């Protein structure tokens, strides 16, 4: 299955813009590592799903997204590897785009909540989704500063 072009262009544009902002429009050669990690992040979970033949994907769940938010926050704030920072920021954005795509197609994120024992209302899904977006912006800000 091919990835929609916007699911490639948006993360790449984001990684380039964040890199330019971080290094004040004078990226060092090491900035290529950040770009490489970001490019890898675009396909990383797709490759893992295909390689391990995961159906349904555990990566497309609110549980994974919540745990990933914690890990990505740690990576962005503590790790000095630019590959890792690019990878987690790109992965985070990719998962947000998956959620946007599902929301537009289905009108909810019910499939993301299959691992949760009680039903989650659409309005609560919306609040949680906005929370994930907020954390993404915080992580981006912390990386750029």
**pLDDT tens figures, 110-128:** 999 998 989 999 999 999 9
pLDDT by residue (tens digit) across 64-106?
999 999 999 999 999 999 999 999 999 999 999 999 999 999 9
pLDDT by residue (tens digit) across 3-51?
899 999 999 999 999 999 999 999 999 999 999 999 999 999 999 999 9
Chain center to CA of 143: 14
pTM for the structure as a whole? 0.94
Confidence of residue 56 (pLDDT cuts 50, 70, 90): confident
Confidence of residue 55 (pLDDT cuts 50, 70, 90): confident
Do residues 12 and 38 make contact, with C-beta atoms less than 8 angstroms apart? yes
- Does pLDDT of 1 surpass 80? no
Percent helix, percent strand, percent coil in the chain, to nearest 5: 75, 0, 25
Number of neighbouring beta carbons within 10 Å of residue 18: 22
């Amino acid at each position: 299955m091919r990835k929609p072009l916007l699911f490639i262009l948006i993360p790449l544009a984001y990684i380039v813009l964040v890199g330019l902002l971080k290094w004040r429009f004078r990226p060092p050669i090491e900035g290529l590592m950040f770009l490489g990690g970001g490019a890898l992040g675009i396909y990383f979970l797709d490759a893992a799903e295909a390689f391990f033949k995961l159906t349904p994907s555990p990566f497309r769940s609110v549980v994974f997204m919540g745990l990933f938010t914690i890990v990505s926050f740690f990576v962005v704030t503590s790790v000095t590897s630019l590959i890792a920072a690019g990878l987690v920021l790109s992965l985070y954005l990719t998962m947000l785009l998956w959620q946007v795509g599902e929301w537009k197609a289905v009108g909810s994120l019910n499939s993301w909540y299959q691992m949760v024992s009680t039903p989650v209302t659409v309005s609560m899904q919306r609040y949680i989704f906005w929370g994930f977006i907020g954390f993404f912006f915080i992580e981006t800000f912390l990386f750029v500063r």
